[in-house]
């Protein structure tokens, strides 16, 4: 025990007994060996949190320019430029590749999954009718419901879905219960890929930023949130780290395509994301400058700047079949004064690998 009555350093096992009359007396001292194998325990920490988020801090995620070998001006690009990575072609993270309508049949009247003869029950989603290993769906068939159209592959599994976006207070349930291993096309400008668990692993889309004077589409696009969906998706993060040294970390259902970019509000557009990154807070090892939110704000400002546009945004999670991804890659294409460039940033989403700064109190 130290002379100030606080625990000593190195730890020596001492503590005080506090009596009902307000007095206190030493209960023990030197109860434990102060060091382990004679090692120097170092300086007394300010608190337990300081031992988690210690300097030297990591720099914010780097912005890397992506150059493509199939670009018309690639031969004029100087090799070895810093902060640049070369890829063979500008292949989107998710490509919408649904075959032509002529390759699909309409469901027969006696098809048990036909939503016209067997309407969806209250609370039922059509994707639940594709329930491995016994799917009710017929191969190469187009099933149309009020809020989405489903296309099956040659094995009778849902592989392509064209869905209507929800509205505030009225989310599309099909987008909150996605089919596994399927591509979803939402509002003609967002494409999502789900993994074997029915959780979204990648997204490619064209944003329309809210109140953007340079984009007339932004005045008519629906902007909505589904907070219940965000709570459900964020809970996956809490569940994954419960009982670990990182259970204090806060999680959100973070949007792949930001709310202000016109991204869908449902689970199809969400993943479990560390709150400090999603909201730009100084917590859980994140700072605003290092956060996902800071990039979203930058893109929104860019889209509204005269002579500028944000032409495409994409997100890819890694590992792609993990309920809580370790990293999230954000790629975007922007145009400034007639010059178009593609950039990428990678954000850590594993609490053990986030150390951008101390939390603010």
* pTM summary value: 0.83
Q: What is the pLDDT of residue 300?
A: 96
Q: What is the pLDDT of residue 33?
A: 45
Q: What is the pLDDT of residue 50?
A: 44
Q: What is the pLDDT of residue 26?
A: 64
The DSSP output letter for 260 is G
Contact 271, 231 (CB under 8 A): no
The rounded Cα 47 to chain-centroid distance in angstroms is 31
Q: Which regions in the chain score pLDDT beneath 50?
A: 1, 3-5, 28-34, 36, 48-51
Q: What is the pLDDT of residue 335?
A: 97
The whole-angstrom separation of Cα 31 and Cα 37 is 16
Q: What is the pLDDT of residue 254?
A: 98
- Strand ranges (E), the chain: 15-18, 24-28, 64-68, 84-87, 142-144, 148-152, 158-163, 183-186, 190-194, 200-205, 251-255, 270-274, 308-318, 327-336, 339-348
Q: pLDDT, tens digit, for every residue of 147-164? A: 999 999 999 999 999 999
Q: What is the pLDDT of residue 17?
A: 61
Distances (CA, A) of 283 to 85, 88, 278, 280, 341: 31, 38, 11, 9, 32
Pairing of strands 183-186, 15-18: unpaired
The whole-angstrom separation of Cα 94 and Cα 193 is 6
């Amino acid at each position: 025990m130290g002379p100030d009555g606080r625990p000593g350093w190195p730890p020596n096992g001492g503590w005080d007994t506090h009596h009902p009359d307000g007095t206190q007396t030493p209960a023990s001292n030197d109860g434990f060996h102060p060091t382990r194998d004679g090692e120097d325990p170092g300086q007394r920490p300010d608190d337990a949190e300081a031992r988690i988020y210690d300097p030297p801090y990591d720099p914010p995620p780097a912005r890397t320019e992506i150059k493509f070998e199939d670009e018309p001006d690639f031969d004029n690009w100087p090799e070895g430029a810093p902060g640049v990575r070369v890829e063979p072609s500008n292949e989107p993270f998710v490509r919408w590749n649904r075959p032509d309508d002529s390759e699909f049949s309409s469901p027969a009247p006696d098809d048990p999954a036909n939503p016209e003869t067997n309407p969806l029950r209250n609370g039922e989603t059509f994707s639940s009718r594709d329930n491995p290993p016994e799917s009710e769906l017929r191969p190469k068939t187009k099933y149309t419901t009020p809020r989405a159209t489903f296309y099956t592959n040659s094995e009778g599994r849902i592989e392509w879905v064209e869905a209507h976006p929800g509205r505030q207070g009225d989310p599309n349930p099909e987008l909150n219960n996605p089919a596994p291993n399927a591509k979803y096309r939402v509002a003609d400008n967002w494409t999502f890929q789900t993994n074997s668990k029915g959780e979204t692993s990648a997204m490619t889309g064209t944003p329309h930023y809210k109140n953007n004077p340079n984009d007339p589409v932004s005045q008519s696009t629906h902007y909505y949130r589904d907070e219940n969906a965000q709570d459900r998706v964020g809970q996956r993060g809490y569940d994954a780290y419960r009982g670990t040294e990182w259970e204090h970390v806060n999680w959100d259902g973070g949007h792949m395509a930001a709310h202000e970019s016109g991204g869908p509000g449902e689970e199809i557009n969400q993943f479990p994301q560390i709150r400090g990154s999603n909201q730009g807070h100084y917590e859980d090892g994140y700072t605003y400058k290092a956060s996902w939110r800071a990039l979203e704000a930058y893109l929104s400002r860019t889209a509204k700047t005269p002579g500028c546009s944000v032409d495409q945004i994409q997100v890819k999670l890694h590992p792609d079949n993990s309920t809580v991804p370790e990293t999230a890659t954000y790629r975007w294409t922007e145009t400034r004064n007639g010059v178009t460039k593609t950039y990428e940033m990678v954000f850590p989403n594993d609490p053990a690998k986030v150390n951008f700064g101390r939390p603010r109190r």
